[in-house]
């Protein structure tokens, strides 16, 4: 199957996983490869990366709970809740074990899922999220997340806000976030992501991940943006001391949003990892 060109070209559907109904975008055929976005984002932000793999894999890009068009329960936003969603999705699709590719929140959730049920996971790509993230970094993240719950007058206002918030993004990445991440309400546009869910997730991200990483048995690639403000060089170094067996790729010049600002390098790094 030819790789899709746009997130709008991927088939979108909702999948009842028993515990929750998740909205996904999917393409391709072959072994199962699942993609999970970061906090406040949605599946469309990972489509440009996932689409490149759709000639070799069944690529399924997921709106995680509380985000996009997936269910938004009032509670249940800890790592194990997201991980159990991932495992339920793999079972429902009945195409596992799956390669899990996660950015930020999605990285934490993918690693947690691999520990909770290794039989359903083939390998993990953990993009820019590790243990040992500093408290002040989480403080800044929480402030940014809560500030995103705004009413925007129109799409141009959304794009201007996103361009200021993500100055490293190419225009295409801004457009994807603007067009896919907001809903029409009286007076303008609001984020699709649930404000209550985002607040709970931002708090939950602070939970200690060291034991989860100790227990990780599946092949896992750690990816960090060279100038990431979320994962410091020190946090990555501590993670490598905890798990010296895990391969690491540091993407030159990239910030936290590695796959959106450096899609070519990210694709090659994941491909090399999978092929190895």
User: 37, 67, 103, 256: which one is catalytic?
Assistant: 256
Q: Is 67 a catalytic residue?
A: no
Helix H, strand E, coil C: the string for 15-56 is: EECCCCEEEEEEEECCCEEEEECCCCCCHHHHHHHHHHHCCC
- In 63-138, beta strands by DSSP E: 98-103, 121-127
**271 contact partners, CB below 8 Å, separation of at least 6:** none
Catalytic residue among 103, 128, 180, 228: 128
Active site residue 275: no
Q: Which of 54, 70, 104, 194 is catalytic?
A: 104
* Token reading at 241: 């001391």
128 as an active site residue: the answer is yes
The H or E element spanning position 183 is strand 182-185
User: Which DSSP symbol is given to 9?
Assistant: G
As a whole number of angstroms, the distance between CA 52 and CA 19 comes to 30
Strand 121-127 vs strand 98-103: parallel, antiparallel, or unpaired? parallel
Active site residues: 104, 128, 256
């Amino acid at each position: 199957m030819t790789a899709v060109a746009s997130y709008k070209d991927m088939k979108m559907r909702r999948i009842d996983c028993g515990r929750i109904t998740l909205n996904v975008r999917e393409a391709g055929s072959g072994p199962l490869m699942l993609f999970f976005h970061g906090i406040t984002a949605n599946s469309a932000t990972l489509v440009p990366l996932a689409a490149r793999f759709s000639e070799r894999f069944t690529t399924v890009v997921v709106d995680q709970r509380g985000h996009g068009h997936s269910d938004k329960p009032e509670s249940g936003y800890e790592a194990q809740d997201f991980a159990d969603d991932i495992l339920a999705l793999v079972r429902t699709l009945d195409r596992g074990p799956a390669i899990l590719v996660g950015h930020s929140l999605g990285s934490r959730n993918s690693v947690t899922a691999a520990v909770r049920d290794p039989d359903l996971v083939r390998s993990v790509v953990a993009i820019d999220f590790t243990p040992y993230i500093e408290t002040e970094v989480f403080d800044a993240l929480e402030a940014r997340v809560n500030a995103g719950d705004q009413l925007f007058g129109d799409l141009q206002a959304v794009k201007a806000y996103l361009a200021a918030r993500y100055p490293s993004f190419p225009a295409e990445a801004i457009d994807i976030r603007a067009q896919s991440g907001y809903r029409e309400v009286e007076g303008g546009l609001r984020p699709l992501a649930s404000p209550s869910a985002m607040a709970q997730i931002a708090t939950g991200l602070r939970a200690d991940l060291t034991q989860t990483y100790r227990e990780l048995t599946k092949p896992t690639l750690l990816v960090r943006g060279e100038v990431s403000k979320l994962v410091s060089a020190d946090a990555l170094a501590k993670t490598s001391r905890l798990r010296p067996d895990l391969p690491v790729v540091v993407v030159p010049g990239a910030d936290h949003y590695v796959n959106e600002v450096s899609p070519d390098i990210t694709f090659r790094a994941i491909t090399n990892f999978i092929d190895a």
